[in-house]
Amino acid sequence: MICMIKLKVNVMNIIISIFWKFLDYFEKTYLKSYKIEYWNYYNNIEHITNNSSKSYNNYLKYLFSEKPIFYKLILTLQEEEFLS
């Protein structure tokens, strides 16, 4: 029983250590490198989303209003790739 308690304490210490390392990383990477005002785009009219892949997915949804057959899908995606 005492061995299990020691093991749990050791595991908790490891988890706490990892968490502190994450907090240190977060502070260095985000709090010091980026202005907090830019974290949220909610009130920013210029950007509908801050995720480019989501924007592209919406565009694809517009291109394919219905589920296309496989070959049409491939052809359309190749044309889109050519445009970029």
Closest CA to 49 of 60, 36, 58: 58
**What is the pTM (predicted TM-score) of this model?**
0.41
Domain hosting residue 59, numbered range: 40-84
Mean pLDDT of 28-33: 82
* Segment 44-64, tens digit of pLDDT: 656 555 577 777 888 888 888
Tell whether 10 and 32 lie within a shared domain: yes
For 17, which DSSP code?
A: H
Tell whether 61 and 21 lie within a shared domain: no
Is residue 78 classed exposed, middle or buried when 0-12, 13-18 and 19+ CB atoms within 10 A define those classes? exposed
Tell whether 29 and 44 lie within a shared domain: no
